[in-house]
Amino acid sequence: MNKYIKPAVIVFLLISCLAVYMSLNQSNPVSSSNPLYERIKSKQQDYFIEPQNAYIDQVWKKTPGLNGRKVSIEKSYNKMKKDGKFNEDKLVFEQIPPEVSLEELPVSPIYRGHPDKEMVALLINVSWGAEFIPDMVETLSKHRVKANFFIDGAFAAEHKDLVQMIEEEGHLIGSHGYGHKDFAKLSKSQAMVNLDKANSIISSLIESDIEWFAPPAGSFTMSAVEAAQELDMQTILWTVDSIDWKKPTKDVFLHRITSKLHNGATVLMHPTAVTASSLDELIPVIQKQYRIGTLAELMSEKRGG
């Protein structure tokens, strides 16, 4: 090796260092003395929200968590720097996941989404009422709303075209068991056999996984919940009941739902004449205060969806 470094090598090293410096400076051009940058930084605590862990509620059982949020200083600055002034509407937020997720909780049914999430889900249990489903799906599509259809395996075997139509329209499809059995009267092994039979039929008709189980009439034991869990399904109940199977008037149907809506609500209904004729009026009323989505969206930790 040469004892001394050649001048050309020194020049090369200096140029390389300068290029690296310029690259770093361009990717983070904001000086800590920039007034706008400092204003955004000083405001970040005002908009910070702690993430909330999933938990078991004494009444509503397994409850999903909710992401927190923090201000992204760099992204917010980049949106505001053209105007050169602080604008709350241009703040960019990053979500912070909780430490405990829904999947980490013990076996338990689920009744609702997070109570701070301004969103609801429509649960449509299907063992009968085939004649009303096309109109219901058409109305949901008209309003660009996705619902959750829980299909009985026996119904699916008889109405394959309806099941496939529901999925093609982007709705979530879950299991309602097979033969509308009372799962409170089934042993764990019987529940497993029943659910597996329903899943085999429904899975042959759709492409998505079956991740949710709605027990008929809301009747279940923890053995049934455990059986569903072992088949990679969560058990879902409801917090708002339309009682549409008793053939109420449209006014009664609408009042039963709208008077009891809340953050994270799950609204139970069936393919009935009153439901089919009332959805067009019900959906806009709900949307004045809440978003409507699938259980996958409602149970996610994502804020706003």
Q: What is the pLDDT of residues 45-56, one digit of tens each?
A: 999 999 999 999
Report yes or no on 3 lying in a domain: no
pTM (2 decimals)? 0.83
- Is there a single domain that holds both residue 202 and residue 291? yes
Q: How many domains does the chain have?
A: 2
- The whole-number pLDDT of residue 12 equals 53
Please determine, for residue 254, whether its predicted confidence score (pLDDT) is greater than 70.
yes
- Is there a single domain that holds both residue 66 and residue 136? no
- Is there a single domain that holds both residue 79 and residue 155? no
pLDDT digits (tens, 9 = 90+) for 79-93: 898 888 899 899 999
Task: List C-alpha distances in Å: 239 to 99, 218, 223.
Answer: 26, 11, 22
- Is there a single domain that holds both residue 91 and residue 131? no
- The whole-number pLDDT of residue 274 equals 98
- Is there a single domain that holds both residue 168 and residue 291? yes
183 in Cβ contact with 215 (< 8 Å): yes
- If you average pLDDT over residues 151-175, what whole number do you get? 97
- Is there a single domain that holds both residue 195 and residue 277? yes
Please determine, for residue 11, whether its predicted confidence score (pLDDT) is greater than 80.
no
Q: Which residue segment(s) compose the domain that 261 sits in?
A: 119-298
